[in-house]
Amino acid sequence: MVEKLITVDQKKKIFHLHNSKISYLLSVEDGGTLCHLYFGKRVNDYHGQLRYPRVDRGFSGNLPGSLERRFSRDTLPKEYSTAGEMDYHTPAAIVRQKDGSNALFLTYKDYQIVDGKPDLKGLPHAWVKNNSEAQTLIVTLEDKKTGLLFDLLYTIYRDRAVITRSVKVRNEGKEPVKLEKVASMQIDFVGRDFETITLPGAHAHERTIDRNHINQGIHAYQSHRGTSSHQMNPFLALVDPETTEFNGDAYGFAFVYSGNHKFEVEKDQIEQLHVNVGINDFDFNWQLKAGQSFQTPEVLMVYSDHGLNQMSQTFHSLIHDRIMRSKFKDSLRPIVVNNWEATYFDFDEEKLKPIVDEAKKLGIEMFVLDDGWFGHRDDDNSSLGDWQVFDKKFPQGLGHFADYVHEQGLKFGLWFEPEMISYNSNLYKEHPDYLMQVPGRQPSPSRNQYLLDLGRKEVRQNIFEQMSKILSSGKIDYIKWDMNRHLSDIYEADLPADRQGETYHRYVLGLYDLLEKLDQAFPDILLEGCSGGGGRFDAGMAYYEPQIWCSDDSDAIDRLFIQEGTSLVYPQSMMTSHVSVSPNEQNGRITPFKTRGIVAMWGDLGYELDLTKLSHEDRESVAKQVKEYKKIRQITQFGKLYRLKSARTSNQCAWEVISPDQNEVILSVVKMMASGQPAITKTKLVGLDENRHYEDQDSHLVYGGDELMNLGIYDPVEQGDFKAQMYHFKAID
Ligand code: DGJ
């Protein structure tokens, strides 16, 4: 018999979601209040000790009509708080009603347990292969006055330390309401002195790890740029002060959504923590008529009792195994040469052919034609929206060039920026109304480009048809889907004035719809995401795009920080990472070619430079790196990652990856600054079998797993900054 993942104590109304790793407990308490009891390491049975202490607190009110002063919704840890129910925490949901009020009083109504996991239509989400790998608890809360029902969805997987959560609001009343905020989840912690870890950043400086103590007050980590953004990735971890990479508790929350998001962390008057995750309520206002429902995006909640590294590994396997759907998710990712930093806009077919020829000689597997191949685009001031080949650059057509690339044995990739429009374009001449703008106002340019109103079906259809014409030639193997500005001038022409608060979310739903259509129509094309580098690097995009360009900063040393932050949540196969020229074009730093290769091999390796201009020595290095990478990419792209040393806290960065079959290990160590009297350092490996022996493929020395883990190996003492070393060990017994 299949073991149940959810048990219910009918009498005490206690719900227990459990597998061999975690438990999540909730209960119904006084006044039909859904109370949060516990999320953490697995407990076999729950015996009721977490009944929240009843204490009379001044200025924390009580249940309507009750004389019991010791019970308050303001202090009890809850699963979902709303405005107007004597709970002063930041509400998870705010709903404006016909009479102008926003007060709700949610009470427990009933529950349902379903095998598997319901699909969230139109939204990316974690999926199940079959119904026996997960179970879903749906707890329904109701507001009697309005007839609103809130279905709180909790899915637990059999083999993962993960709970997924989302909320469906159903209007079963008679009147329309306005949703002003609907978080996808809330969780309250009692008696925990957590710190936050977030991934803030900027363009060319994405996802750098930030760890902070939490003071009393409301702290928000958010984007209202219309996308998940470079500035604040949709992720938050709560950790104990003593939590490290390999020890201690870590709770991670990743939002499966690519638009405006908000993570609220509130430390209240009695040092309890209240966390909401969901669509940002900034400029959000959704009309819900009688009979309609609204489904929020999903949150992935991970628990680790072995520090941040285990949290990351759980996210990696979940995102790879159960968020990504592309047929390429398990395929070795091709080694790419991209012409962007090699030529920028200054190219034509004749100039590109030698790069393709050189790529062939060096063993590179795909040529990606970046920005500038369409319309009449010679700089970034025109042609977005005109997805027809630029004759001047490809006089014999794009197909002719694609054939040339294929004849050299390489695959052919093509850049698009489907969400954008230039004033200077045919699309704008024909459909000026497709440009998102507020009537009577001049829209703001960014990189001299504008947004398409993707919430509108006809706009999406136009772009889909244009792209389909090119893609159905059968000559395109890969798309790089870029997005080089954030949203502004928010207005959807199809919506009435009182529904403009739906525009941001409708844009994201429109984007997902377009991606879904392309995925369905062209499943054999590998899709890579990009938004001015890693500006839309989130679990939502992973559902459609199994890999994403990590950052426009290709400097190997900056990338150590960016890739480390990215790896907190996202698997290596999702990060594309290219070797570029030195001095680096973004920051002027000079780094050894070898180091650039080793750092780029952390993710999906590629080259972002003019292969025809390399020195003899660098050319040899490319050939060597390509050969080496082909041997190890199964391990580096799909293996288990261990972050051993961080350049944030030491003069080195070291990471280790163990192959899925446990037989091979890659270790990379990058030194930051050289010194006249260098300290002698060692690196100790982790996660090996202490009883097996491993051979270093370069020196052919053999070490016991216990030696590599306990004694470690000395790092080379080399002159010069930013030197790096890579080791490949193979188990021999
Ligand atoms: C931003 C991307 O991140 C770059 O790699 C390149 O594709 C440019 N856009 C092209 O405009």
End residue of a domain, out of 549, 570, 589: 549
Question: Residue with structure tokens 């022409």?
Answer: 493
355: β partners: none
Tokens, residue 86: 């004597």
Residue 558 vs residue 661, higher pLDDT = 558
Please report the atom of ligand 1 found closest to the CA of residue 530: 3
683, 712 contact by CB (below 8 A): yes
Residue 271 belongs to domain with CATH number: 2.70.98.60
Q: Which residue has its alpha carbon closest to ligand 1 atom 6?
A: 340
Question: Are 254 and 153 found together in one domain?
Answer: yes
Q: Which residue has its alpha carbon closest to ligand 1 atom 2?
A: 532
Question: Are 302 and 348 found together in one domain?
Answer: no
3-state secondary structure at position 304: strand
pLDDT, tens digit (0-9, with 9 covering 90-100), for 108-165:
999 999 999 999 999 999 999 999 999 999 999 999 999 999 999 999 999 999 999 9
pLDDT, tens digit (0-9, with 9 covering 90-100), for 64-111:
999 999 999 999 999 999 998 889 999 999 999 999 999 999 999 999
Which one of 484, 545, 609 would you pick to mutate in the ligand 1 pocket, going by the greatest count of ligand atoms within 8 A of its CB?
A: 484
3 — pLDDT class (breaks 50, 70, 90):
confident
Q: Which residue in 74, 552, 558, 604 is the catalytic one?
A: 552
Does residue 57 fall inside a structural domain? yes
242 — pLDDT class (breaks 50, 70, 90):
very high
Please report the atom of ligand 1 found closest to the CA of residue 552: 3
Please report the atom of ligand 1 found closest to the CA of residue 338: 5
| pLDDT given at position 2 | 59
End residue of a domain, out of 527, 549, 571: 549
Q: Which residue has its alpha carbon closest to ligand 1 atom 1?
A: 532
Rounded to the nearest whole angstrom, what is the distance from the C-alpha of residue 341 to the centroid of ligand 1? 9
All residues at 6 or more sequence positions from 728 whose CB lies less than 8 Å from its CB, including other chains: 631, 632, 664, 665, 666, 696, 697, 698
d(Cα 651, Cα 653) in Å, to the nearest integer? 7
pLDDT, tens digit (0-9, with 9 covering 90-100), for 42-55:
999 999 999 999 99
The share of the chain scoring above pLDDT 70, in percent, equals 100
Does residue 457 fall inside a structural domain? yes
Q: Which residue has its alpha carbon closest to ligand 1 atom 10?
A: 371
User: Taking CB atoms and a 6 Å cutoff, what residues make up the pocket around ligand 1?
Assistant: 340, 370-371, 415, 482, 484, 530, 532-533, 549, 552
Does residue 580 fall inside a structural domain? no
Please report the atom of ligand 1 found closest to the CA of residue 415: 7
Which one of 536, 552, 585 would you pick to mutate in the ligand 1 pocket, going by the greatest count of ligand atoms within 8 A of its CB?
A: 552
- State the sign of the Cα–Cα–Cα–Cα dihedral 58, 60, 66, 68: negative
Residue 1 has pLDDT above 80, yes or no: no
| pLDDT given at position 84 | 85
Beta strands in 616-663 (DSSP E): 640-645, 652-658
124: β partners: none
Average pLDDT, the chain: 97
Q: Which residue has its alpha carbon closest to ligand 1 atom 9?
A: 532
- State the sign of the Cα–Cα–Cα–Cα dihedral 588, 594, 598, 603: positive
Question: Are 397 and 532 found together in one domain?
Answer: yes
- C-alpha distances out from residue 56 to 70, 72, 75, 231, 489, Å: 4, 8, 10, 42, 49
Does residue 197 fall inside a structural domain? yes
Question: Are 238 and 365 found together in one domain?
Answer: no
| pLDDT given at position 542 | 98
Does residue 511 fall inside a structural domain? yes
Question: Are 304 and 369 found together in one domain?
Answer: no
Does residue 412 fall inside a structural domain? yes
Question: Are 226 and 374 found together in one domain?
Answer: no
pTM over 0.85: yes
Distance from first CA to last CA of the chain, Å, rounded? 37
Question: Are 275 and 357 found together in one domain?
Answer: no
Q: How many helices (H) and strands (E) does the chain have?
A: 12, 38
pLDDT, tens digit (0-9, with 9 covering 90-100), for 596-617:
999 999 999 999 999 999 999 9
Residue 481 belongs to domain with CATH number: 3.20.20.70
End residue of a domain, out of 263, 290, 322: 322
Question: Residue with structure tokens 């597997």?
Answer: 365
Question: Are 316 and 380 found together in one domain?
Answer: no
Does residue 108 fall inside a structural domain? yes
Rounded to the nearest whole angstrom, what is the distance from the C-alpha of residue 712 to the centroid of ligand 1? 41
Rounded to the nearest whole angstrom, what is the distance from the C-alpha of residue 482 to the centroid of ligand 1? 7
Query: How many C-beta neighbours within 10 Å does residue 589 have?
Result: 14
647, 681 contact by CB (below 8 A): no
Beta strands in 637-723 (DSSP E): 640-645, 652-658, 664-671, 682-683, 693-696, 702-704, 713-714
pLDDT, tens digit (0-9, with 9 covering 90-100), for 15-35:
999 999 999 999 999 999 999
All residues at 6 or more sequence positions from 498 whose CB lies less than 8 Å from its CB, including other chains: 287
pLDDT, tens digit (0-9, with 9 covering 90-100), for 354-384:
999 999 999 999 999 999 999 999 999 999 9
Question: Are 298 and 424 found together in one domain?
Answer: no
Domain that holds residue 395: 336-549
Question: Are 129 and 179 found together in one domain?
Answer: yes
151 is catalytic: no
Nearest to 727 by CA among 616, 638, 636, 614: 636
d(Cα 50, Cα 240) in Å, to the nearest integer? 20
pLDDT, tens digit (0-9, with 9 covering 90-100), for 651-666:
999 999 999 889 999 9
d(Cα 212, Cα 239) in Å, to the nearest integer? 10
For 491, counting Cβ atoms within 10 Å of its Cβ (0-12 exposed, 13-18 middle, 19+ buried), the class is middle
The number of folded domains in the chain is 3
Rounded to the nearest whole angstrom, what is the distance from the C-alpha of residue 208 to the centroid of ligand 1? 21
- C-alpha distances out from residue 366 to 73, 132, 521, Å: 59, 40, 22
159 is catalytic: no
| pLDDT given at position 347 | 98
pLDDT, tens digit (0-9, with 9 covering 90-100), for 696-705:
999 999 999 9
Residue 698 belongs to domain with CATH number: 2.60.40.1180
Rounded to the nearest whole angstrom, what is the distance from the C-alpha of residue 623 to the centroid of ligand 1? 25
Q: Which residue in 87, 370, 453, 482 is the catalytic one?
A: 482
Question: Are 216 and 112 found together in one domain?
Answer: yes
d(Cα 89, Cα 217) in Å, to the nearest integer? 10
Does residue 554 fall inside a structural domain? no
Question: Are 485 and 383 found together in one domain?
Answer: yes
Which one of 384, 530, 537 would you pick to mutate in the ligand 1 pocket, going by the greatest count of ligand atoms within 8 A of its CB?
A: 530
Nearest to 223 by CA among 504, 417, 418: 504
